[in-house]
């Protein structure tokens, strides 16, 4: 029986230094995180040893947040770490001072930085200048922690993922991008149905397709949601106007009118799980009877954000090779508390 989270170990192979994209993980890395998250969820008492005691994490939130903020704050604190949460306006992200200066400063105070920002370029700039691991908690390009929680949810409900069919109906947005990359890595078939003009980024699709060739997954794009959901194991949707697209809400409602995940649409996949990253607009992208129905796993997805993010933070902050990887890239080695105590 697991008595301490310290007994969870990873094989001696190069880990990720930052997690800015699902593509920063290979199939083995994704599988390890899912297995670790399952273990954490099954044995919550295992974190009683407070494996992140003595560490601190800055949470930088430039966009509104419920699930992301609460799951990171509570998850890190349960592991024994400290968090400080900053709004983008508090630090003038990219306006009050250069992003590189912000990264260099925060790196002197904390052991990791979690970023929820609009611009993926801002995230990349900050990660390039930081001397601690940086984690993407959402950008307009990707939402990797959400995709990992989604894979955990599918694993719980469907078992092994290779060969299963996930269908995403709606906007080819950041959540869609991360699902394409995550599914391709683990052999999960991903089919995306969007209105014309709202398909996922071709660069992401090409990247996912290349990964899928190695894993045996299929990546498919469609403009026909009725054909897309046929035989699906899970049907996923998201709001039609994501953060930053609010000005287009009226236009998008008209464009997406035939893409609601409804009881009629799901007739071709009556046993399919229903997924949504939340917040949801019932009556728009999803019918209330569907998201609140017996096949819905949306609140399992929400809960699983906590367990996945704990696994990710443990990987970033506890795996010895992670810190070595950072030093090998020329980052300054910061003395630990134990080393400071030993200084003359």
Specify whether 177 is catalytic.
Answer: no
Q: Are residues 44 and 155 in the same domain?
A: no
The pLDDT of 153-175, averaged and rounded, is 98
* Domain membership of residue 235 as a residue range: 144-301
Specify whether 7 is catalytic.
Answer: no
Predicted local distance difference test score (pLDDT) of residue 330:
36
Q: For residues 20 and 136, what is the distance between their CA atoms, to the nearest angstrom?
A: 5
Q: Are residues 150 and 67 in the same domain?
A: no
pLDDT in tens, 286-317: 999 999 999 999 999 999 999 999 999 999 98
Within-domain flag for 10: yes
CA–CA distances in Å: residue 287 to residues 202, 221, 241, 274, 292: 29, 23, 16, 11, 9
Looking at every residue in the chain, the average pLDDT score rounds to 88
Q: Are residues 199 and 76 in the same domain?
A: no
Q: Are residues 126 and 18 in the same domain?
A: yes
Q: Are residues 184 and 258 in the same domain?
A: yes
Select which of 143, 155, 191, 252 is catalytic. Answer: 143
Within-domain flag for 340: no
Q: Are residues 136 and 154 in the same domain?
A: no
pLDDT in tens, 190-222: 999 999 999 999 999 999 999 999 999 999 999
Q: How many domains does the chain have?
A: 2
Specify whether 120 is catalytic.
Answer: no
Select which of 164, 177, 191, 305 is catalytic. Answer: 305
Q: What CATH number corresponds to the domain at position 312?
A: 3.40.50.1370
Q: Are residues 295 and 152 in the same domain?
A: yes
Specify whether 318 is catalytic.
Answer: no
Whole-prediction pTM = 0.88
Specify whether 143 is catalytic.
Answer: yes
Could you tell me which residues come within 8 angstroms of residue 202 by beta carbon, excluding any fewer than 6 positions away? none
Within-domain flag for 332: no
Select which of 17, 141, 150, 277 is catalytic. Answer: 277
Could you tell me which residues come within 8 angstroms of residue 32 by beta carbon, excluding any fewer than 6 positions away? 10, 315
Specify whether 116 is catalytic.
Answer: yes
Q: Are residues 38 and 163 in the same domain?
A: no
The pLDDT of 119-142, averaged and rounded, is 96
Lowest average pLDDT, out of 79-83, 123-127, 315-319, 320-324, goes to 320-324
Q: Are residues 130 and 179 in the same domain?
A: no
The yes-or-no verdict on residue 3 having pLDDT over 70 is no
Q: Are residues 117 and 185 in the same domain?
A: no
Q: For residues 199 and 205, what is the distance between their CA atoms, to the nearest angstrom?
A: 9
């Amino acid at each position: 029986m697991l008595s301490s989270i310290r007994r969870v170990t990873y094989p001696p192979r190069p880990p990720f230094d930052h997690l800015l994209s699902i593509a920063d993980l290979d199939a083995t890395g994704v599988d390890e995180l899912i297995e670790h998250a399952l273990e954490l969820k099954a044995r919550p008492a295992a974190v009683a040893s407070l494996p992140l005691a003595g560490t601190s994490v800055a949470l930088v939130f430039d966009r509104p947040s419920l699930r992301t903020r609460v799951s990171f704050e509570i998850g890190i604190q349960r592991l024994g770490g400290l968090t400080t949460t900053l709004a983008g306006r508090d630090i003038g992200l990219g306006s009050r001072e250069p992003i590189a200066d912000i990264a260099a400063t925060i790196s002197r105070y904390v052991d990791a930085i979690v970023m929820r920002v609009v611009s993926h370029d801002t995230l990349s700039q900050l990660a390039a200048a930081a001397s601690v691991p940086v984690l993407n908690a959402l950008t307009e390009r990707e939402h990797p922690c959400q995709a990992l929680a989604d894979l955990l949810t599918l694993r719980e409900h469907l078992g092994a993922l290779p060969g299963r069919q996930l269908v995403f109906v709606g906007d080819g947005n950041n959540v869609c991008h991360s699902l394409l990359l995550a599914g391709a890595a683990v052999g999960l078939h991903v089919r995306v149905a969007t209105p014309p003009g709202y398909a996922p980024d071709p660069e992401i699709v090409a990247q996912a397709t290349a990964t899928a060739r190695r894993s045996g997954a299929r990546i498919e794009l469609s403009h026909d949601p009725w054909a897309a959901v046929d035989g699906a194991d899970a049907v996923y949707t998201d709001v039609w106007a994501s953060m930053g697209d609010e000005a287009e809400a009226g236009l998008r409602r008209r464009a997406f009118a035939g893409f609601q995940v409804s009881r009629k649409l799901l007739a071709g996949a009556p046993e399919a799980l229903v997924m949504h990253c939340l917040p949801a607009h019932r009556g728009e992208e999803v019918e209330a009877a569907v998201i609140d129905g017996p096949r819905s796993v949306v609140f399992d997805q929400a809960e699983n954000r906590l367990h996945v993010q704990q696994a990710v933070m443990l990987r970033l902050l506890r795996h010895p090779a992670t810190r070595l990887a950072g030093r090998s890239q020329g980052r300054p080695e910061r003395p630990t508390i134990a080393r400071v105590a030993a200084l003359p």
